[in-house]
Amino acid sequence: MNMKRGIFMVLGLAMLLSLSTACPTPPWMFELNYIHKVNDYVHTHDNVTFHNGGQVSLPISLYVWVDNIPANAGRAPIPITKVVLQYKTRRPPAAWGNTWTTVKTINNPDWDISFPKGSVILFGRNALDIPGVQVGDQFLIRVYMAAEEGLYENAPLAVDTNELGNDPVTGLPSGWTQRHVVLVNYDGKRRPQ
């Protein structure tokens, strides 16, 4: 009797631990929601080819292409429950460092009601204004998305990445993709607010 109880306790603990961490993201999720452009610099126009290294002025408006997560294999669409805008800067040739700055977090965005499918300034016009930067400084910008209260995510928020979606130290995939990360260069100009 004690052996059965012990087995059930171990199995119960294993199930509890598995529920407390984010699940690997099914491939059909988050693919239709991606960084479209930074100000007028287009990161991708087709969600297949991605561009990095464009010149941008401050403050930055980040356009995100939004769409409902589609039903797949008979599953209902899953609403996105959290989006986070983050950035980090460097003055080449210096290294990036591993600290990301969170600009804005939106909990429970209602994409059906708030705006139609398409490219939108998701975090607000001129949301990103970075102090103390100089001409030629680079910005790495990323957007985190989670569904089902964090059960699914487009990438691990605590993991560092470069503009290609790779670990900046090892060069191996970090869990991020180019859909959700963009590199731009500061042109030294200010945009009207």
Q: Which helix (H) or strand (E) holds 92?
A: none
Name residues whose C-beta falls within 8 Å of residue 6's C-beta, 6 or more positions apart in sequence: none
Average pLDDT over residues 49-76: 82
Q: Domain-by-domain residue ranges, the chain?
A: 24-190
Name residues whose C-beta falls within 8 Å of residue 21's C-beta, 6 or more positions apart in sequence: none
Token pair 């998701």 in the structure block, residue: 122
**173 and 129 Cβ atoms separated by less than 8 Å:** no
Over residues 114-171, the pLDDT tens digits come to 455 678 888 999 999 999 999 999 999 999 988 876 778 889 999 999 999 999 999 9
The pLDDT assigned to 60 comes to 97
Which comes out higher in pLDDT, residue 79 or 15? 79
- Which segment, 8-22, 73-87, 102-116, 168-182, is predicted with the most confidence on average? 168-182
